[in-house]
Structure 1
Amino acid sequence: MNRTAPAFPDDLLERWGVRNAELVADTRSSGVYRVRLADGSYAIAKLLKPSGLHEMPGMDFLAWRAGLGAAKLLDRHDTACLLEDAGTLTLRQYRQSQGEAAANAVIADLVKNLHAPSPEKPPAGLVPLERHFRSLFEGAARTEVSELSSVLRRCEKIAEALLQAQTDIRPLHGDLHHDNIVGDTGRGWLAIDPQGLWGDPAYDVANIFGNPDGAFAEIIEPARIMTLARLFSEILGCSKEKILRYAAAHAGLSVCWSMENGDTLSRGGNAFERFTFAKVVMPLVGEA
């Protein structure tokens, strides 16, 4: 055991045959370990804290996917989860060396795998998009009159219309972005850390528009936005406008999440970047 890490629970050591556990992250919501098992293989152990129980629907999603397009859920015991070690190479790192087009090709293939049909019945505990967007509806209502309130209310209007017209409702990863796509273990690129949502598949690519971290100048470039819209509309079989409208709605939601966590619209923060993206994408969907 790593002596600097919090003690790994004895019952899990025995249950999973853990021979060594290295603490990878200790956050408000979970403790994450890379563990070596009795057969010499590695896995990821995620021990959810009380503030991390919202991640349980994501574990249901992984169990349902059974490894297709996503890391496998190997075992679950109460709020402790043993996951396939999907590797350490993130798509953000890959994009830095191989470029935007190569990264987009990875995303396209991954989305196809994540949305491929499953013989299993969808989990019952997935979060409906209507509930997922609650922070946007609440944030738009309480924001004082300003440019921010105007943008959030337009995002709210877009979200309401989209949610009322959902089609092909299915399980969604819910948090796809370049740091949640990993691939250097021989299984190809895999999605990790899903939220586990239930709704229109067009929402599952909305977060890609605001990523990766550190690429803000490209994120707000209309040419890139339209390239992604064309790519995702072809993959998901829907209009470019629908893809863009979900991207705009998600940007408003992300602003609200960030501000709930104490962020402001100061330049360089997530709220500022998502707010700026929303202002750029609105004219592309006739919401100027």
Structure 2
Amino acid sequence: MAEAKPTLSDALVKRWRIRSSRLIADTRSSLVYRVQCDDQPDAIVKQLKPSGLHELPGLDFLSWRDGNGAVRLLDRTETAALLEDAGTILLRDYRLLHGEDASNSVVVDLVNKLHSGSSSPQPAELTPLKRHFQSLYVRAADTSDPLFDVFSYCTVIADDLLATQANIRPLHGDLHHENIISDDGGVWRAIDPQGLIGDPAYDVANIFGNPDGAFADIVDPARIITLTLLFAKTIGCSKEKILRYAIAHAGVSICWSFEGNDRISAGGNASERLAFFKVARRLLEAGAVSV
């Protein structure tokens, strides 16, 4: 017998006058539904699981952005949110059709919007970058870990970056090609923010290891250098800072994969991030982005 799919609670159905719902994602952290409501356009409901409560600051971030660069938060309860439906066109698929340069232009435009000011006060409960990197620090403390050299290297970089943050502001915290979505009108919006606060150079770090399925591009030194130059100009910081944040993020991303029972296996996130780390480390130590 097929396992029954999770359904929305009666309380949420009543609160948002939901006529119909369809489960579109079931992740470690949340359930996501596309819904039809009585008195508004189609929308998205995101229901956080107990393991996803660390994403609550992301809802605060969406409220603060108020639709500028990110999907609009329409209403929320303690652990569920009613969101604007951003559309169905993933930047990952757009990149396949239109190429890397077109995809990067979308990222740059969106980062500029996400990092623009707001007339509303900044959210008080955003996650500091230091806490965001906690899994890396835990792993780096274990000298018996087979990847101790990797985690130790990333921790040294993270320590320096976090101690010298500049232009600290609210950050999306999880920008990548599946968290950037467009509707048929070509309006791009970011979804699923982590809700961080810190140096804006971190907000582009995850782009280096994406999109899924583009391993050859992810480990291509020319692409890494191109992204470094592009994002340094976008953020207004040094090229070296951009690359170092990408390296530090690769380290913590491996740690998160391990926490999700991924291992250094062919095709897995941990394997891809480790391969990227090795290439990016060589570029950094060779001074490829120092001028």
Q: TM-score range by the shorter chain?
A: over 0.9
Give the Cα–Cα distance (whole angstroms) in 2 for the partners of residues 15 and 150 of structure 1. Answer: 51
- Residues 141-199 of structure 1 show CA distances to partners (whole Å, capped at 9, x for unaligned) of 115265x2212211110000000000111000000000000001436100000000010
Match of 1:162 in 2: 161
Whether 2:45 is the aligned partner of 1:37: answer no
Match of 1:204 in 2: 203
Give the 3-state SS of the residue equivalent to 2:89 in structure 1.
Answer: coil
Match of 1:251 in 2: 250
Which structure 2 segments of 5+ residues have no match? none
- Residues 27-71 of structure 1 show CA distances to partners (whole Å, capped at 9, x for unaligned) of 332221111111361000111122211110100100000000000
Match of 1:113 in 2: 113
Q: Which amino acid aligns with 2:178?
A: D
Q: Which amino acid aligns with 1:222?
A: P
Match of 1:24 in 2: 24
Whether 2:228 is the aligned partner of 1:229: answer yes
Give the Cα–Cα distance (whole angstroms) in 2 for the partners of residues 39 and 143 of structure 1. Answer: 58
TM-score normalised according to structure 1 size? 0.95
Give the Cα–Cα distance (whole angstroms) in 2 for the partners of residues 202 and 216 of structure 1. Answer: 23
Give the Cα–Cα distance (whole angstroms) in 1 for the partners of residues 158 and 40 of structure 2. Answer: 48
Q: Which amino acid aligns with 2:174?
A: D
Match of 2:104 in 1: 104
Q: Which amino acid aligns with 2:158?
A: A
Give the Cα–Cα distance (whole angstroms) in 1 for the partners of residues 187 and 70 of structure 2. Answer: 10
Q: Which amino acid aligns with 2:283?
A: L
Structure 1 window deviating more from structure 2 (245-254 vs 264-273): it is 264-273
Which structure 1 segments of 5+ residues have no match? none
Give the Cα–Cα distance (whole angstroms) in 1 for the partners of residues 186 and 229 of structure 2. Answer: 28
Deviation at 1:265, TM superposition (A): 1.5
Give the Cα–Cα distance (whole angstroms) in 2 for the partners of residues 265 and 26 of structure 1. Answer: 24
Cα separation, partners in 2 of 1:161 and 1:52, compared to 1, 3 Å: same
Cα separation, partners in 2 of 1:137 and 1:92, compared to 1, 3 Å: same
- Residues 244-264 of structure 1 show CA distances to partners (whole Å, capped at 9, x for unaligned) of 000000001111111122222
Deviation at 1:6, TM superposition (A): 3.2
Please give the root-mean-square deviation of Cα atoms over the aligned residues, in Å: 1.5
Ranges of 4+ aligned residues in structure 1 off by more than 6 Å: none
Structure 1 window deviating more from structure 2 (257-266 vs 205-214): it is 257-266
Q: Which amino acid aligns with 1:28?
A: R
Cα separation, partners in 2 of 1:34 and 1:143, compared to 1, 3 Å: farther
Q: Which amino acid aligns with 2:114?
A: L
Q: Which amino acid aligns with 1:201?
A: P
Deviation at 1:15, TM superposition (A): 1.6
* Number of residue-to-residue matches in the alignment: 284
Match of 2:276 in 1: 277
Whether 2:140 is the aligned partner of 1:133: answer no
- Residues 112-139 of structure 1 show CA distances to partners (whole Å, capped at 9, x for unaligned) of 0000111111101100000000111111
Q: Which amino acid aligns with 2:62?
A: L
Give the 3-state SS of the residue equivalent to 1:208 in structure 2.
Answer: helix
Deviation at 1:5, TM superposition (A): 4.1
- Residues 84-104 of structure 1 show CA distances to partners (whole Å, capped at 9, x for unaligned) of 100111000000111111100
Match of 1:67 in 2: 67
Cα separation, partners in 2 of 1:47 and 1:283, compared to 1, 3 Å: same
Give the 3-state SS of the residue equivalent to 2:22 in structure 1.
Answer: strand
Instruction: Tell me the percent identity.
Output: 60
Give the Cα–Cα distance (whole angstroms) in 2 for the partners of residues 252 and 244 of structure 1. Answer: 13
Deviation at 1:286, TM superposition (A): 2.1
Q: Which amino acid aligns with 2:192?
A: D
Give the 3-state SS of the residue equivalent to 1:243 in structure 2.
Answer: helix
Structure 1 window deviating more from structure 2 (16-25 vs 74-83): it is 16-25
Give the Cα–Cα distance (whole angstroms) in 1 for the partners of residues 267 and 144 of structure 2. Answer: 22
Deviation at 1:10, TM superposition (A): 2.0
Q: Is the 8 A contact 1:86 1:185 kept in 2?
A: no
Give the Cα–Cα distance (whole angstroms) in 2 for the partners of residues 169 and 136 of structure 1. Answer: 21
Structure 1 window deviating more from structure 2 (71-80 vs 5-14): it is 5-14
Cα separation, partners in 2 of 1:187 and 1:120, compared to 1, 3 Å: farther
Q: Which amino acid aligns with 2:229?
A: R
Structure 1 window deviating more from structure 2 (84-93 vs 9-18): it is 9-18
